[in-house]
Structures are given as structure tokens and as C-alpha cells.
Amino acid sequence: MADENDKPPTMEVNLEHIKHKIAVMSGKGGVGKSTVAANLAFTLAWKGYSVGLLDVDIHGPTIPKMLGVGKENLTFDSDNKMLPVKISEKIKLVSMAFLLENEDSPVIWRGPIKMGVIRQFLEDVRWGELDYLIIDLPPGTGDEPLNIAQMLPDSYALIVSTPQDVALLSVRKSINFAKMLNMPIIGIIENMSGFVCPHCGKRSDIFKTGSCEQAANE
């Protein structure tokens, strides 16, 4: 009879049918990280891939609002596994927002409780077979990003920033965070650098560009 300790960890078993895991992170808030995560999920789905979108921005979950998803109560299957909300044929969503009484409810939790919720999202959600799991992390390099990186050692980092110098300082911290945790960086996105005029089609750069490219090259 096999020893109980010989069984694969619950999280490993639950996530074994997910091919790729991408953690979308940023050094500071307000750079469009969640928008990038949502757009990435929809782009991959449009290309025919099956995608899971996990919103673990504990204190500011915005993905459901962006996708026009109202208050959803997570349901459970016969094995007591949480079932993600189906956004489309190719996209499944789980968000911290689904656990709140309403969208104005603050999350006043200490670290261990937050880590328990993140672990539950990874161990107890019936994701099924996915090509990609996109994880929208909170900004910064605190407990939540650290725990995701440690719980998912095979995940990749996608870093989002804006061209301003203050944002660039933060993006370097995110780069060093990923390097220290042996988390491969698949890209750095320079967001909000400009806009295209809807009338003339001309691009206007609001801030200087190229800072993120410089950081990536370094």
C-alpha cells in the first residue's frame, strides 16, 4: 500500500493539465497591469487557446469589472472543487472580487489569510485543461507575488510599466525580483506611452519612450 507521503501534492495534481502559467506583474499600481492581463487572455482565446484568468490582486480586484461580469457566486462540484466562471467558450475566470459582499467591500486581511486564499485558488479550483493560466498579481514585490512565484516555480513573468522615471525605478525592482526567484521574464510592456488620434490616425507620445526597452536590455 502506497504511503500517504508518496502522493503528489494537491496543487501539483490540480494544475498538471495547465501548459503555461504567466504572472502579470508591475512594480507599482496604475500602470495598466490588469488591463494587459485581460487583453492577453482575450488575445490568446481569439487565437484559439483555452485560457484561465486568475485575479489575485487581493485588495483591488478589477478584472470582473473590466470584463463586464457582475457579482458571481463561485459554485462547487461534487468533489468540493470550485468552478471558475465561464466568460466565453475559451476563457474561465476566478477573482477575489467573487468572494466580496460587494465591490466596495475592503479586504482587511493579514498575510497568512491572503496566502491561504491564493493557495485555495490554485489547489481547489477546477481549471481543467488549459493552454494558458494568466495570473493578475497585485503591484509590487510583496507577499502575494512572492508566494505565487514560490508556489508556481514553472511560471513566467510578464512585467508592465509606463515610461515615467518613477515607474522605471519600480520596474527594475520587478526585474530583480523575478531574477532572484529564477522566474523567466518573457517580456516587459511599456504601457501608456502614447495614443493614436481617432481623427487623423497620427500617434502622439505623451511621455518619452524607450525606457522599458533600455531596462530590458540592461
Residue 28 has pLDDT above 60, yes or no: yes
Residue 55 β-bridge partners: 95, 136
Number of residues that this document lists for the chain: 218
In a domain, 40, yes or no: yes
Is-above-0.85 flag for pTM? yes
- Predicted local confidence at residue 2, as pLDDT: 42
Share of the chain above pLDDT 70, in %: 90
Alpha-carbon distances of 127 from 37, 38, 50, 63, 138, rounded to whole Å = 17, 17, 10, 17, 21
- Predicted local confidence at residue 201, as pLDDT: 85
- Predicted local confidence at residue 212, as pLDDT: 63
Domain count, the chain: 1
In a domain, 1, yes or no: no
In the structure, what pLDDT confidence band is assigned to residue 5 with cuts at 50, 70 and 90? Answer: low
In a domain, 159, yes or no: yes
Mean predicted confidence (pLDDT) in 84-98: 94
In a domain, 68, yes or no: yes
Residue 187 β-bridge partners: 158
Q: Which of 135, 138, 139 is nearest to 121 (CA)?
A: 135
Which residue is associated with the grid cell 481569439?
46
In a domain, 93, yes or no: yes
Which residue is associated with the grid cell 514553472?
154
In the structure, what pLDDT confidence band is assigned to residue 13 with cuts at 50, 70 and 90? Answer: confident
> Which H/E stretch holds residue 141?
none
Query: What is the SS3 assignment for 31?
Result: coil
Quote the DSSP letter at residue 138: P
CATH code of residue 165? 3.40.50.300
> Which H/E stretch holds residue 143?
helix 143-151
Residue 103 has pLDDT above 50, yes or no: yes
In a domain, 3, yes or no: no
CB 11 within 8 A of CB 115: no
In the structure, what pLDDT confidence band is assigned to residue 64 with cuts at 50, 70 and 90? Answer: very high
In a domain, 2, yes or no: no
Q: Can you give the residue range of the structural domain that contains 120?
A: 8-193+202-217
- What's the number of CA atoms in the CB half-sphere (13 Å) around residue 62? 14
CA distance 95 to 61: 7
In a domain, 65, yes or no: yes
| Tens-digit pLDDT profile for residues 126-174 | 999 999 999 999 998 888 999 999 999 999 999 998 887 777 778 889 9
Residue 87 has pLDDT above 90, yes or no: yes
CA distance 35 to 177: 22
Residue 74 has pLDDT above 90, yes or no: no
Q: Worst-scoring range by mean pLDDT, 77-86, 144-153, 183-192, 202-211?
A: 202-211
Mean predicted confidence (pLDDT) in 17-43: 94
